[in-house]
Copies of this chain bind each other. A is one copy, B any other.
């Protein structure tokens, strides 16, 4: 390769041969059929509902799932989302459980009911024992069982680093979708889980925290964002919703404010934050996303009396974070009270303003 083939951004499309970027020796190839069967044979899968007539139990074919019964209830729209990532925790079972709860979250955030899930598994066959793949899948299946969602298929490859996630399909009444575009001036902003998983998991990776230190975060990340059953009487009061994940409170808040054509004012002192998060941020346990989330949102943010340390929690990337709900003011306290039972961190953390110069205004 000569100089003219490179630039600061990497290799040029016109010069690179993609097959030469892939390592030899079977990396990132399909996991062999018999290896896969051996893995899957040890996993206890979620119960299959009668709607599932063909399951891709080989993790390789297509599944058939009948949606007829939902349609009669007006649930005629599919809700679809897909997410996967590398391990953010040490325990394989916990990793699979978090990845599953995280992937299901987007369906709950739209007001939908998840129906089916397919697995996305990249597994280093050469360096990790297959029992680890079994545990990752079991962690996911345990969460799916809790959500009453069958694992209907998926795909696995032999890769250099472990990655896992799900493609999830849910169903929703199209007239009852919680979009992120419905926030109205005067609404109260409610967050259902504490912040801080990004910095805490960065500390775990640096081995500055043990898994024992981080039980609160693990409980939070494996909790399903299934809030609808608790809010049956407040359905019409929920004007907009999103789940807080990789772009942090600032990034997802900005997306929701922009989509709704409003501005959000957040009260920093009201933010629910996990134990040891301030310590972790002070020690500088940060990720690339802390920086990129700051860059993504800074031009659209106004900070009033906000310390540098406080800012870091706004950009902290969440995994399987809580829902941010925009709720009619007269129902906001009711919503908090209903959710507190299952989501004890739930708080009103801000309010919706008519569109200002900045999308996000951060006050003490």
Contacts and interface: CB of A to CB of B under 8 A. Distances in A.
Interface of A: 7, 9-13, 16-23, 26-30, 32-35, 53-54, 56, 58, 60-68, 71, 76-92, 95, 106-107, 109-110, 112, 115-116, 118-120, 122, 124-132, 135, 152-155, 157, 159-163, 165, 167, 169-170, 172, 174, 177, 179-180, 201, 204-205, 207, 242, 245-247, 251, 255, 287-289, 292-293, 295-296, 317
A18 to B, nearest CB: 4
Contacts of A129: 7, 9-13
Contacts of A88: 19
Contacts of A80: 56, 62-63, 65, 116, 118, 152-153, 169
Contacts of A90: 16-20
Contacts of A242: 61
B67 A19 contact: no
| Interface residues of chain A: helix, strand, loop or mixed (majority) | mixed
Contacts of A30: 85, 246, 289, 317
Given A28-B163, A34-B295, A128 B10 contact: yes
A139 to B, nearest CB: 11
Contacts of A170: 62
8 contacts: A10-B128, A21-B161, A22-B162, A26-B288, A58-B255, A62-B170, A64-B77, A68-B71
Nearest to A136: B18
A87 B289 contact: no
Contact of A106 (B61, B87, B107, B287): B61
A153 B61 contact: no
Given A7-B129, A287-B29, A289-B30, A77 B67 contact: yes
Q: Which one of A9, A13, A288 has the highest number of Cβ atoms from chain B below 10 Å of its Cβ?
A: A13
Contacts of A128: 10-11, 16, 21
Contacts of A27: 86, 161
Contacts of A245: 60
A163 B157 contact: yes
A225 to B, nearest CB: 12
A28 B49 CA distance: 35
Give 6 nearest A-B pairs by CB, closest first.
A18-B87, A32-B292, A167-B167, A26-B288, A62-B81, A17-B90
Given A10-B129, A21-B128, A84-B120, 9 more contacts: A9-B130, A10-B130, A28-B161, A56-B81, A62-B110, A64-B174, A66-B76, A67-B71, A71-B76
B127 A11 contact: yes
Contact of A296 (B32, B124, B157): B32
Contacts of A317: 30
A61 B18 CA distance: 29
Contacts of A23: 161
A82 B21 contact: no
Contact of A87 (B19, B177, B296): B19
A292 B116 contact: no
A10 B127 contact: yes
Contacts of A135: 13
A165 B77 CA distance: 24
